[in-house]
């Protein structure tokens, strides 16, 4: 058993010495005259008296142990391993196209909002991109900033330099964000609806290898009626992710559920912690105190 202040345990040498003195002392014998009496030796009575007088020494031992701060180890627990998830959302002009009851941008942000609920405990970041990249929300477990962000960077109100689509630039920018986090897995959820010129001529595979080398998995959502670009398929395949092409808002929400199932949260064991262990010693001390108090009413050594 560990102790917070173990040197105090050296005082435990005192109680045994007191017990030795109680049980080995002879005291003063008193001779009483009884004519023709056959008196008992009194050994049993002496033993009972010695036990009663040993109680204070035992209480002292309990006090020393309590002062030393007894500790115990808690049961090992498990906690959810952190996953760093960076949302990379396209805000080019084409994201204003109709999709369900709103636009492609609206449907994407609503699905992301729902995704935040069943990935509670992970760290999320939000990056908007077009021809430029803007890290809107840094990686954080507080999702309120992401939930409040949709009105501020809608494609209709975004600056003109966000009008195009450069997915390669956005993915590399997200890589820099994720590699700064040493703890937890790394994942990018790319939401886009178009082609990207900066992924051609083998750039897609080069970017994918950089992401894979940094243990970043890319899941892509091609929110458009057009075919999924081959470059996006290559990036998700090389990094160990997958690309989806939802046809409506319900399918889009289902995609995020699918991503959650494919990238399951991991549990890791947490080492046991030390905690105070006073209860059994306090109970023992109270029992000894009660016994000593009761014995003082009738079990006392009279030194005469």
Which domains, and CATH codes, for the chain? 6-25+42-74+273-295 (no CATH), 79-268 (3.40.50.410)
Report percent pLDDT > 90 for the chain: 35
What confidence tens digit (pLDDT) does each residue in 90-121 have?
999 899 999 988 999 999 999 898 888 877 77
Reported as a single tens digit per residue, the pLDDT across 224-236 is 888 899 999 999 9
For 184, half-sphere exposure in the C-beta direction (CA atoms, 13 angstrom radius) is 24
> What digits encode the pLDDT tens for the residues 148-206?
999 998 999 888 888 889 999 999 999 999 998 877 789 999 999 888 889 989 999 99
CA dihedral 106, 109, 112, 113 (to 10 degrees): -100
Using alpha carbons, select from 144, 139, 114 the residue that is nearest to residue 124: 139
Residue 211 CB coordination number (10 Å): 26
Facing residues of 250 across strands? none
d(CA 80, CA 216): 19
The closest alpha carbon to 162, from 101, 229, 96, 233, belongs to 96
In this predicted structure, what is the pLDDT of residue 179?
92
| Residues 6+ positions from 25 with CB-CB distance below 8 Å | none
The whole-number pLDDT of residue 171 equals 95
């Amino acid at each position: 058993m560990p102790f917070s202040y173990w040197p105090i345990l050296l005082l435990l040498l005192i109680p045994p010495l007191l017990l030795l003195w109680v049980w080995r002392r002879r005291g003063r014998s008193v001779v009483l005259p009884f004519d023709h009496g056959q008196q008992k030796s009194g050994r049993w009575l002496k033993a009972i008296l010695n036990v009663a007088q040993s109680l204070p020494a035992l209480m002292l031992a309990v006090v020393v142990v309590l002062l030393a701060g007894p500790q115990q180890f808690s049961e090992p627990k498990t906690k959810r391993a952190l996953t760093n998830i960076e949302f990379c959302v396209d805000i080019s002009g084409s994201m204003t196209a109709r999709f369900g009851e709103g636009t492609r941008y609206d449907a994407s942000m609503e699905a992301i909002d729902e995704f935040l609920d069943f990935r509670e405990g992970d760290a999320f970041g939000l990056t908007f991109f077009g021809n430029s990249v803007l890290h809107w929300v840094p990686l954080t477990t507080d999702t309120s900033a992401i939930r409040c962000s949709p009105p501020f960077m809608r494609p209709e109100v975004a600056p003109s330099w966000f009008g195009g689509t450069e997915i390669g630039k956005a993915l590399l920018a997200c890589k820099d964000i994720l590699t700064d986090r040493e703890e937890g897995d790394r994942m990018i959820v790319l939401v886009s609806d178009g082609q990207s010129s900066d992924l051609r001529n083998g750039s897609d595979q080069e970017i994918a290898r950089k992401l894979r080398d940094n243990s970043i998995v890319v899941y892509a959502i091609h929110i458009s009626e057009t075919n999924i670009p081959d470059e996006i398929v290559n990036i998700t395949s090389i990094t160990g992710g997958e690309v989806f092409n939802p046809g409506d808002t319900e399918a889009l929400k289902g995609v995020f559920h699918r991503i959650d199932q494919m990238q399951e949260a991991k549990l890791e064991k947490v080492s046991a912690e030390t905690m105070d262990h006073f209860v059994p010693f306090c109970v023992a001390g109270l029992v000894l105190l009660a016994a000593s108090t009761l014995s003082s009413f009738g079990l006392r050594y009279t030194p005469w």
